[in-house]
Structures are given as structure tokens and as C-alpha cells.
């Protein structure tokens, strides 16, 4: 198994990035990742202001997947996420969804003990490791790793975790897969602008689906299918996620448009992933159990 070390990182998803490794479809590989601050915040004396913006959200990679061409889909099966024994969170004035009520910058170091994030003496939170940044290279532009889009990127979606499979559109030869920004645990919204930021290792299997793609990333979480869309505001992101799920169902069922809309209004799962990045992210889901007679596949 190839190991992509955390000294090989990019700060934007770009077609100009040089691959640091090549793999065949069907191979398993491991990405060693730094936290979103490049492992620069180690104590509670290290405030966010000490970290340069140029080193925020490093993504390990990119990796060239042989045979991948524009119009294909990269299937990334997340087999395992191992995390360090402590992570950090920050609260910063004028940053995040609650930045207007924060008066002073603060760093919180949180230990991981027996599968729990020890928030304080009275609160422990079960860890649920997930990937904040994961994506392929866009077709022609450089998109900072901190920004989500159709290529993936900083979707900060807590369901991108062990046991899920993420389907990413391929826009350039080789796809150029990169990832980072792990969280030991993160709530929907990520309202402070951080989850529990932590270094770690992600083991994935990559496969290639030729000649088939969706306009936005698609996530298989076992019990549900989700599409993930991002836009400048939540209303627009929600509409894009809805449209993407309507298209996903159109390709895989015989349901009319009116029935697809009614179905999603009856049992769809429109959920907020994050509200703090340059673009906001919404996911739209549908239960596999409800759709069992259609046996939805990517």
C-alpha cells in the first residue's frame, strides 16, 4: 500500500498541481494529513492569529489515478480514519457563524481518551472522525483548499467518514485526488469555523467509473444516498442540492418530475454541512430503504 506523507501537500486544488504518486483503479492507499492549521497550533497559547493564511487547510497529495479522464467519476471508499491523541479548536472575533458575539481569540486543546474527546471535566464527546477537505482538480482554475465546489474541496460534511464512499467528478486527466483537514468530531454547520481539528491518516480504496458522472459530489453512507452542493448562500446551496438529487433520481427511476419533487418533500433529508467557508454547503439525501424497489446505484 502506498503511503502519501504529509510533507507533500497543496493549498489549492488545481490542474497545474504535479502528482506526488500514481495508482491504478482498485488500489488502496493511505494519506497522512496535517490538521487545518498545518500542525502549527500545539498549545492554548498558540492563537489563530499566529497562523498565516497561506498555510491554512493543507491537503495531502495530489495522487494521479491511471486511466481517469474528464467525464469519469472517481469512487473513494473510506476504509479507515486514524487520528492523533489530541486536537484543537479556536474561537475568533468576526470569524465563523458566531464570530459577531466572540470578543477575544481563544484556543482550546482537547485530548482524545478512550474514544472520547474530553471537552472539560463534565463533558466528553464520542469521536466520529471525518474528512473536511477531499477533492479532485477543477478543469481550469485554482480553487483554494478552503473552498468547496463541484470538485469537492472543503465540503466539511460530517458524513464523509469511515464506511462511506464519495463519488467525485473527474475534470482533468488523472483526477488529482487530494485530502486533509480531518476532524475528530464536528457538528453540522461547524459554527465556530473549526471542528475538533486533528492530524491523522486516512486509508482509502480508489476506483474509477468510466464515462459517467454527476454535476456534484455524491455520497453513499450505507443507509442513504446524498448529493452535496455549495454556493454563496444557503438558499442557493439548498436549491443546487435539490436540483442535483432530482437529476440523480431521474437517471435511476421512472418517477415523473412531480413525483420526484413530492417524494423529496415527503422524506428527503436536506441538511446543512457547513456555514463558515467562502461557499456554504448543503446535502440532500434519500433513504435506500424507501427506494429499495429501485435498487439505486451510482
Domains of the chain with CATH codes: 2-83+128-209 (2.60.120.580), 218-287 (3.10.28.20)
CA angle (86, 182, 36) in 5-degree steps = 85
- Which tens digit of pLDDT belongs to each residue from 175-213? 999 999 999 999 999 999 999 999 999 999 999 999 999
**Phi/psi of residue 134, nearest 5 degrees:** -155, 130
Supply the pLDDT for residue 53: 78
For the entire predicted model, the pTM comes to 0.97
Give the per-residue pLDDT at 54.
Answer: 80
pLDDT at 270: 98
Largest CA distance in the chain: 59
What are the distances in angstroms from CA 280 to CA 58, 237, 246, 275, 283? Answer: 20, 7, 20, 5, 10
Helix (H) or strand (E) holding 160: none
- Among residues 102, 103, 128, 105, the alpha carbon closest in space to that of 115 is found at 128
pLDDT score of 117: 98
All residue ranges of the chain with pLDDT < 50 are: none
Pair 145, 154: CB distance under 8 Å: yes
Amino acid at each position: 500500500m502506498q503511503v502519501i506523507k504529509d510533507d507533500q501537500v497543496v493549498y489549492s486544488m488545481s490542474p497545474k498541481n504535479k502528482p506526488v504518486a500514481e495508482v491504478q483503479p482498485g488500489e488502496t492507499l493511505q494519506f497522512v494529513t496535517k490538521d487545518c492549521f498545518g500542525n502549527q497550533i500545539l498549545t492554548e497559547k498558540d492563537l489563530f492569529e499566529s497562523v498565516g493564511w497561506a498555510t491554512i487547510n493543507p491537503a495531502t497529495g495530489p495522487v494521479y489515478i491511471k486511466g481517469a479522464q474528464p467525464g469519469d467519476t472517481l469512487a473513494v471508499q473510506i476504509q479507515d480514519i486514524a487520528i492523533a491523541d489530541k486536537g484543537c479548536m479556536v474561537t475568533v472575533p468576526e470569524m465563523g457563524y458566531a464570530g459577531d458575539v466572540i470578543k477575544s481569540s481563544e484556543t482550546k486543546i482537547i485530548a482524545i481518551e478512550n474514544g472520547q474527546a474530553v471537552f472539560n471535566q463534565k463533558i466528553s464527546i464520542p469521536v466520529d472522525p471525518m474528512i473536511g477537505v477531499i477533492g479532485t482538480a477543477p478543469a481550469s482554475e485554482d480553487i483554494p483548499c478552503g473552498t468547496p465546489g463541484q470538485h469537492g474541496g472543503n465540503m466539511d460534511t460530517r458524513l464523509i467518514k469511515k464506511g462511506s464512499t464519495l463519488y467525485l467528478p473527474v475534470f482533468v486527466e488523472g483526477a488529482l485526488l487530494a485530502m486533509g483537514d480531518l476532524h475528530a468530531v464536528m457538528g453540522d454547520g461547524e459554527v465556530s469555523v473549526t471542528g475538533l481539528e486533528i492530524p491523522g491518516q486516512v486509508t482509502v480504496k480508489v476506483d474509477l467509473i468510466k464515462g459517467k458522472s454527476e454535476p456534484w459530489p455524491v455520497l453513499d453512507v450505507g443507509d442513504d444516498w446524498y448529493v452535496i452542493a455549495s454556493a454563496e448562500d444557503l438558499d442557493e446551496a439548498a436549491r443546487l442540492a435539490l436540483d442535483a438529487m432530482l437529476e440523480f433520481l431521474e437517471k435511476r427511476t421512472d418517477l415523473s418530475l412531480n413525483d420526484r419533487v413530492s417524494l423529496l418533500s415527503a422524506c428527503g433529508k436536506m441538511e446543512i454541512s457547513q456555514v463558515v467557508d467562502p461557499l456554504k454547503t448543503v446535502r440532500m439525501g434519500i433513504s435506500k430503504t424507501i427506494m429499495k424497489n429501485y435498487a439505486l446505484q451510482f
